[in-house]
Amino acid sequence: MDSVTADIQNSPLPTAQTLRRRNHIAYQLWRFVALNVRFVTMIFKGNH
Amino acid sequence: MAKVVILGAGISGHTAALHLRRRLGRDHEVVMVSPNSKWNWIPSNIWVGVGKMTTDEVTFALAPIYKRKGITFHQALATELHPEGSTEIDRPYVTVRYTDPERLDQVATITYDYLVNATGPKLNFAATPGLGPDANTVSVCTPGHAVQAAAALADAITKMRQGERQRLVVGVGHGTCTCEGAAFEYTFNVEHELRTAGVRDMADVTYLTNEYELGDFGVGGMVFTQNGFETTSKLWTESLFRERDVKAVVQAHVERVEPGVIHYEQLDGTKNELPFDFAMLLPPFRGVDLRAFDRAGEDITSELFLANGFMKVDANYGAKPYDEWSAADWPSTYESSRFPNVFAVGIAFAPPHQISQPRTSANGTVITPSPPRTGMPSGVMGKTAALTIIDRIEHGTSARPHEASMADMGAACVASSGMGLRRGTAASMTMYPVVPDYDRFPATGRSTKDTFGEIGLAGHWIKYMLHVLFIYKAKARPLWYLIPE
């Protein structure tokens, strides 16, 4: 087995709860707002 | 009256044109020279490439927009740059060849006071024998390429439905390619389509890349802070590959592609073969074929451009070892190193060096991603050059240039797959700054607060929102300028 395949096989898998959260509408609505705030903050940090 | 000519109506050039037109009085002329009749929101080509969008949804005709805004439009390809004019023409000018069907192949000259070179990349499929839509692989670099890719993917899915196992390879087709983020995104779009079509168990999906390790993305990888721990983009990406059962080949330079077989070399010098039934491999980029001449007609291309065809600007191009690379090497004004009234933005400017650590194989082959400079950074550069030109027209040539270094600029990459409000998902990443600055951020070169990755439906919504917003902005609809680059 090559090293990248071994690294992939040894990497962590998301739990069932994490997978559910990734598609949970209410939680994702919150993440949508939070991600947009982080994006805009990052954009304006460059002062461009 | 001043005349500003922009070469290229991609993200950076079109952004520059709109800002120039908005801020300059009508006694000044803004001229766009672009060989393409349509504007393309390139990030959404990925969705065209899996049949989820049409080309009409990711493009629009430029001429009506420029007519409405008062921008002169020449559908033409710039071929020569004469920054000192010539013995016949006493002003700087460019020579163009029309691609407009009504004036096809006619040659003309267009004079300028200021020039913005936003010509983008030449898709250098020729660097790898057998690479590209005219040979043995598909691409998603243009809407037309993406349509071909979608058709090839549909064929593969049909074969899987008929019980024929398929090997799908997605990645980059040369050791010096850039845009690994786009290849990564297309990989997971393909994987998503296979699951949606109910044939995932009939497919082997492999990501083939020149990155040293997964998660490099041509920016040397990132360090994220998550749940109170620092983690790497490597581990984060590997986890996604494991979850979706996608294989990976890293540190690869594709030497040639024969029908059904990719031949590649890796950093350890070994040469290998990867059989495929479907392969989407991005090409390496080089600068477009634009030559420069002085007033006497002598070729000065090498004074304005690097050998790879990208234009030299206010960067430090001195050769030095990796350990001595600095954020200060990167340009901030995008002025030509030779002519202060010429700017190069977006992919057209020559980066001083890679962002990922350069590596060479045991056989001497360079296998290192080139720096990404598409999307958000491109738009910011276009606006920055436009603001400098506006100030110089209004306040004189001594006006200080505006600055926007990639070492002080963030970028977002949202790799989204699927369609619809509930059926998509995305891996969202941001980094600040794009070019690591170890003086400001000694630990990782980047702000760990503003560098993060997250997987979920929200990123998919953001990707679609960006698609709608940026096409709205590019169409110069009311208040377009309030949407940041």
B200-232 pLDDT, tens digit per residue, is 999 999 999 999 999 999 999 999 887 788 899
A5 shares contact with chain B (CB less than 8 Å): yes
A20 shares contact with chain B (CB less than 8 Å): no
Of B149-158, B272-281, B380-389, B408-417, the range with the lowest mean pLDDT is: B408-417
Q: Provide, as residue numbers in chain B, all residues whose Cβ is less than 8 Å from the Cβ of A11.
A: 235, 238-239, 241-242
Q: Provide, as residue numbers in chain B, all residues whose Cβ is less than 8 Å from the Cβ of A45.
A: 410, 432, 447, 450
pLDDT (tens digit per residue) in B47-70: 999 999 999 999 999 999 999 999
Q: For the whole model, what pTM was predicted?
A: 0.95
Predicted confidence band of residue A43 (pLDDT cuts 50, 70, 90) = confident
Q: Provide, as residue numbers in chain A, all residues whose Cβ is less than 8 Å from the Cβ of B457.
A: 22-23, 25, 28
pLDDT at A47 over 60: no
Interchain contact, A8 vs B214, CB within 8 Å = yes
Nearest chain B residue to A28, by CA: B458
A38 shares contact with chain B (CB less than 8 Å): yes
Confidence check on the interface: ipTM exceeds 0.85, yes or no: yes
B446 shares contact with chain A (CB less than 8 Å): no
What average pLDDT does the structure give for chain B? 95
A36 shares contact with chain B (CB less than 8 Å): yes
Predicted confidence band of residue B374 (pLDDT cuts 50, 70, 90) = confident
The three-state (H, E, C) secondary structure of chain B, written as one string: CCEEEEECCCHHHHHHHHHHHHHCCCCCEEEEEECCCEEECHHHHHHHCCCCCCHHHHEEEHHHHHHHHCCEEEEEEEEEEECCCCCCCCCCEEEEEECCHHHCCCEEEEECCEEEECCCEEECHHHCCCCCCCCCCECCCCHHHHHHHHHHHHHHHHHHHCCCCEEEEEEECCCCCCCHHHHHHHHHHHHHHHHHCCCHHHEEEEEECCCCCCCCCCCCCCEEEECCEEEEHHHHHHHHHHHHCCEEECCEEEEEEECCEEEEEECCCCEEEEECCEEEEECCEEECCCEEECCCCCECHHHHECCCCCECCCCCCCCCCHHHCCHHHCCCCCECCCCCCEEECHHHECCCCCCCCCCECCCCCECCCCCCCCCHHHHHHHHHHHHHHHHHHHHCCCCCCCCCCHHHCCEEEEEEECCCCCCCEEEEEEECCCCCCCCCCCCCCCCCCCCEEEEEHHHHHHHHHHHHHHHHHHCCCCCHHHCCC
Predicted pLDDT at B302: 96
Nearest to A12 among B239, B248, B457 (CB): B239
pLDDT (tens digit per residue) in B263-320: 999 999 999 999 999 999 999 999 999 999 999 999 999 999 999 999 999 999 999 9
Interchain contact, B456 vs A43, CB within 8 Å = no
Nearest to B432 among A7, A14, A42 (CB): A42
pLDDT (tens digit per residue) in B19-50: 999 999 999 999 999 999 999 999 999 999 99
Nearest chain A residue to B213, by CA: A4
